Amino acid sequence: MKGSGVYELRELKLDKYNLKINETLFHNANGYIGIRYDFEEGYEKRYSREDQFVPSQYINGFYEYLEINQAEKLYGLVEEKQIMLNIANTQSIKIFLDGEEFSMFSGTILAGRLCLDMERGITVRNVAWRSPKGKEVYIAITRMASFHQLSLFTIEYEVLPQNFSGDILIESSHNGNVLNYADPEDPRISDEVIHCLKPLSCQIKDEVTYITSRTSKSDLEVCTCVKNVLCQGHQKEFIIDNNNATCRFHTTAKQGKKIRLIKYAVFCDSIRNENCRSKAELEMARALSVPLEYLYERQEEYLADYWNNCGIEIEGDEELNSAMRFNLYQLIQSVGKDRYCNVAPKGLSGDGYEGHYFWDSEMYIQPFFTITKPDISRNLIEYRYRTLDMARENARVLGHKSGALYPWRTIMGRECSGYFPSGSAQYHINGDIAYSIIAYFLATKDIGFIQEKGAEIVFETARIWTDVGNFHEGKFYINDVSGPDEYTCIVNNNYYTNVLAQYHLNWAVKIYDLIKTTESFNRLVQKINLKKDEIEGFKRAAEFMYLPYDEGLKINPQDDSFLQKKRWDIKDIPKENFPLLMHYHPLHLYRHQISKQPDTIMAHFILEDAQSEETMLNSFNYYEKITTHCSSLSPCIFSIMAARLGMEDKAFAYFENTVRLDLLDKQKNTIDGLHIANMSGSYMAIVYGFGGFRLKERGVFFAPILPRLWTAYKFKIRIEDSRIMVRVRKEECVFTLESGSPKIIFVYGKKYLLEKKLIISRT
C-alpha cells in the first residue's frame, strides 16, 4: 500500500497464482460492468486451457439459464439456475516493434508497476521493457470503468520508444467467442466450461466494431462495441474472422516520441434496453463526444463525492487505513446502480458463486450504503421490488397460498439453490429484506417510498411467517427452517429466524398504522387483498413468538436441538480440512455443535434489545468456542459484538482478520473474486463495532471505544438530511454536523442535540 488512495505492486510476479489474484485485486468495475485485470497482450503460451486464463468481462444482472441435475427429482426442487456471463472480450491489444511482439514473458522487464488509484478511479500498468533484440520501450496502460457513463470502459495505451525508431504494428481486437470460467472442484463456481453466448453478428460501422450476441435459453441479447483512436499518423485496416474483429494500425515510431492509442468499449444489454444495438451506438457517440480527459475528470469528481460521504480514516495505523480505503472502493465498484441488479458476493471481480445475489446484500452491504449513500440502498430495494412477483411464485412452489418468499440465491428473481437444506430453507431471507427496508426508512424517513413499494414487500413477506409458523401451547413456533449457519440445517425455532420474524411482524403492524390514512393505502390493500385480521395475526404472532433460551447456560440456543448435539472441538480438526463443507458430509456437520458463522451472535448484533446484556455475553462466550469462521461473513460480526460487550482487544483481533482478508488472500480463494460482504463488514466493524453506532426507532445511538493501538479514527454517516462526522480520540468524542438540520443523538445512553459541534469526554 502507498498512501490511503493508492494500492500498488512494484514487483510484477508472473507465476500463475499472482497473475490470477491480480486479475481480481486490480479489476475495474462501476456496478454495471466489471472487467478482470487481464494483460492486454495476453499470457505466456505455455499456459494451457486448464490453467483457466479466461479474459473476463461481466454485466451485472445479465444471465443465462443452466440445468441443475437433481439426483432425485422431488417436487419443487430447483432444476434450473441462472449464471452471470462472461461477455465479449474488448481488452486485447498487441504491439509489434519492428516485428518483435511485446510480452511480459519474453525479453527483459527493466521495471514494472501495477497501480490501483482509488482517488482517480483507474488502474495503471507501467512497464519498461527490452526486447530480445535490444529495443527498449516504456509502456503505460490506463484502464477505467466509468462511473459517469456506466456503459463505458476505456483503455489508454501509451508507447514511448527509448532507444530506437522503426515500424510499429498495433492489433486491437474485439472477440465475441467467449467461455465462462469453471472449476469442477469448487461447489461455489460453475463446474464445466461452457459457451453461453452465441454471436449473432460482427460488423463494422463508421470504424466502430459491433458484436451482438444472444443467450440460448434466457433469450437475452448483449451488444458490445469498440472504437480505437490512434493519436498520430497511421494506416488502418479491419479484419473480421469468426466473430473476432481486429483493428490493425501501421505506424512509425520515433525515439523519444510517445504513441497513444485510446480504446473505447461500450456494453449494452436487452434487460435494460429495448434495442441494445441501437443503444450501443448512442452510448459510443456519447463517449466520443468529449475528450478522454473530460471522462477522467468526471471519474475523479464522482469519487471525491463518494469519499466525502463514505470515507473512514484510521489514525495511528496507515496500513489498516489503506486497507479500509481499498475495501470501501470495492464496494462502490461492485454495487448495482439500477433496479435491474443487486450485489453479488464477489461483486463484478470474478465468477465465484456464479454472480448470484444472497442475503449478504441486505445484511452486510446495505448497512453501509443506507447511512452513507441511501440512494444506492434504495436501488437495491427497488431490485427486490422488481422481483416480488417471482418471490410470490416461489412461495407457491414451497406450499404457501399467499405472500412472497424470496429465493436464497438468484440473479433474475428465481431460486438457484440446488441444495435446499442450506438454501431455500433459509426463510430468514424474508426477514433480512424487511430489515433492510426498515433500516432505510429509519435513516431517511422516506415514507413516500414505503407507501409506493416498501410496504408491499414488508406485508407480502410477513405473510409467510404466519403460514410457516404455528401456535402451540400458547407460543408461536417456526419449524423446519435453516438459520444463517450453514453447518446446522432444517431445525425448529432457529433463534435468529424467530427473533427477526418477530421484528418483521411488529414493523408490518407499524407500517400499516403509518400509511393507513394515505391515498395509496387503499390501492395497496386491494392489490394484495390485505385484511385487517391479518394485521392482528401479525401482532399476535410477534407477541407470542418463541425465542429459545437455556436457563442453565443462560444463553439463547441456536435452535431447539442444538444443545443436545455432540460438541466438536475445533482444535481437533486438521487445518487442511477447512472449510469443513469441502471435507465432511453435511449430515456429519449437522449432528455436531459447530457453526460455520455467527447465527445467534448475528441476531444479538442486529436486535440487541431483544435480550439482556448477560444473555448476549454468555452467548458470545459459548458460540465463540464452536465457530469455525469458515465463512468470510463471520469475523466482522464477532468483532462488532466483542466491541459491544467490552472486549476491546478481541474486537480488534477479529477486525484485523477482516480488513485485509483479500489483500492477504487469507481464505485462499480471492482468485475467484473479492469477498464484498466481508469488505462491508470491515466498515461495520469500525462504525457499528468500535463506534457503537445503532440506528433504532428511538433514535441514533453511539457508544464509541478506541482500539489501544490507534490514536484516533473518524467516519461519517447520513441521517435524513444531515451528514454527521464522528471523530473518536482517547480523551474525547467529537460529533460535527457537517450539513443539514440539527439532530438528536444518544451518546453512551445520554441524549444530546447536535447543532454544530458536540464534544463528549471519554475519561
Q: If residue 701 lies in a helix (H) or strand (E), which one and from where to where? A: strand 699-702
What cell was used for 495?
433463534
Decide the pairing of beta strands 757-761 and 732-739.
antiparallel
- The Cα 454–Cα 447 span in angstroms is 9
- Grid coordinates given for 721: 438530511
229 contacts: CB under 8 Å, gap ≥ 6: 261, 262, 263, 264
Q: Is 616 helix (H, G, I), strand (E, B) or coil?
A: helix
For residue 511 the three cell numbers come to 407500517
Give dist(CA 295, CA 223) in Å, integer: 22
Residue that is written with C-alpha cell 447543532 in the block = 755
Amino acid letter, residue 116: L
> In terms of Cα–Cα distance, which of 660, 678, 652 is closest to 320?
660
566-567 and 592-593 strand pairing:
parallel
Q: Measured between alpha carbons, how far is residue 31 from residues 148, 266, 338, 353 in Å?
A: 12, 14, 9, 17
The question of whether 72 is a catalytic residue gets the answer: no
49 exposed, middle or buried (CB, 10 Å; 0-12, 13-18, 19+)? exposed
Write the CA distances from 173 to 155, 210, 264, 742, integer angstroms: 12, 12, 12, 56
One of 41, 136, 283, 486 is an active-site residue; which one? 486
Q: With beta carbons less than 8 A apart as the criterion, state whether 394 and 407 touch.
A: yes
Q: Which one, of 465, 459, 384, 380, lies nearest residue 427 by Cα? A: 465
Give the H/E segment covering residue 754: strand 750-754
Dig out the grid coordinates for 115 from the structure.
497501480
- All cell numbers assigned to 361: 446484500
**Distance between CA atoms of residues 259 and 238, nearest Å:** 20
- Quick check: helix, strand or coil at residue 545? strand
Residue 98, CB half-sphere, CA atoms under 13 Å: how many? 14
ω into 579 cis (within 30 of 0)? yes
Assess contact for 600 and 488: CB atoms under 8 A.
Answer: no
How far apart CA 140 and CA 261 sit, in angstroms, is 11
Gyration radius (Cα) of the chain, Å: 27
Task: Break the chain down into helix, strand, coil percent, rounded to 5.
Answer: 35, 25, 40
Residue holding cell 472449510?
579
Measuring CA to CA, how many Å separate 383 from each of 390, 423, 440, 482, 625?
A: 12, 20, 14, 24, 38
**225 — phi, psi (to 5°)?**
-135, 150
Cis peptide preceding 574, ω within 30 of 0: no
What gap in Å lies between CA 363 and CA 496, rounded to an integer? 13
CB-neighbour burial class of residue 368 (10 A; exposed 0-12, middle 13-18, buried 19+): buried
Given a contact cutoff of 8 angstroms between Cβ atoms, the answer to whether 180 and 170 are in contact is no
Nearest to 357 by CA among 671, 81, 670, 28: 81
SS3 293: helix
Contact 647, 685 (CB under 8 A): no
E strand or H helix that includes residue 512: helix 495-515
For residue 739, what is its C-alpha cell?
Answer: 450539513
> Which residues carry out catalysis?
486
